[in-house]
Amino acid sequence: MNRGTAPIGVFDSGYGGLTILKEIMRELPHYDYVYLGDNARAPYGSRSFDIVYEFTLQAVKYLFSQGCRLVILACNTASAKALRTIQQHDLPVIAPDHRVLGVIRPTVEQLGSISKNGRIGIFGTPGTILSRSYEMETAKLFPNFTTTGIGCPMWVPLVENNESDRPGADYFVKQEIDRLLSADPEIDTIVLACTHYPHLYKKIRQYTPENIKIICQGEIVAESLHDYLVRHPEIEQECGKNGTRRFLTTENPEKFADMASLFLGEKITATRVEL
């Protein structure tokens, strides 16, 4: 019998994590979810290590206070700068039976079956690229692969301000693709290593040579969560399975609801919270 009541927490600095949540809900529709966007303090991408860690820990604690046993950091910047410290130092003290997972490891695990020549391009926030997390994870799993990371400081602000489909976005998208391809013209796979970037997918595809594969993380993270729940029945049994969704934001809830409804393709309502 299912006695679980815990929603699965999904956290991002803003709207980006909705690209992950959408795929998670498609893969695992019957679970309860609570999404938290720290829109008032987004973007995180140019913030220092300490600040991203501090904000992420606040968000994780908040989601725990909402009953979550499992929180997904649907944010590469938070995964790169805060996940390990939270897992190793904070969880054992504040909530040893709770779990926090990120998006980087499951993404890198897929590279071996996607890339033919091992030349990988990574688009991420300046924080994610400077952390070298993708480079290090890839070197561990696929020592013969080469990664070239490009930080794209303008891409998250374009998404957060709903400019992704407007002509102004073309300039910034093309500029970063040109930088990547002149750094390594042999790249056969590009990882969109920021959960905001699928919102720019159409334009990124348009300016990227057809032979290059572009990886969005949503499906990968959803499948990896599915697999995790199968392997961890002690967590799975705690999860509520009534198909409920709650949306929390640190910004204006009406604005969040409008944008989120657009991104998710379904009407939602949101509540403002303070972390």
- Applying CB under 6 A, the residues found at the interface with ligand DGL are 12-14, 16, 42-45, 75-77, 125, 128, 156, 194-196
Helices (H), the chain: 17-27, 49-65, 76-81, 83-85, 91-94, 104-114, 126-131, 133-141, 155-160, 168-183, 201-207, 218-231, 233-236, 253-264
Please, what sign has the CA dihedral across residues 55, 9, 196, 91? positive
As measured in angstroms, the least distance from the Cβ of 205 to ligand DGL is 19
As measured in angstroms, the least distance from the Cβ of 41 to ligand DGL is 8
| Residues 268, 260 contacting (CB under 8 angstroms) | yes
Q: Which of 68, 75, 152, 216 is catalytic?
A: 75
Q: What would the two tokens of residue 218 be?
A: 């949503």
Compare residues 76 and 235 and give the one whose CB is closer to ligand DGL.
76
Distance CA 234, CA 142 (A): 32
As measured in angstroms, the least distance from the Cβ of 16 to ligand DGL is 3
Q: How many CA atoms lie within 13 A of 204 on its CB side?
A: 25
- Residue 152: active-site member: no
Compare residues 195 and 224 and give the one whose CB is closer to ligand DGL.
195
As measured in angstroms, the least distance from the Cβ of 150 to ligand DGL is 14
Compare residues 239 and 275 and give the one whose CB is closer to ligand DGL.
275
- Residue 194: active-site member: yes
Q: Which of 68, 152, 194, 216 is catalytic?
A: 194
Query: Where in the sequence numbering do the catalytic residues fall?
Result: 75, 194
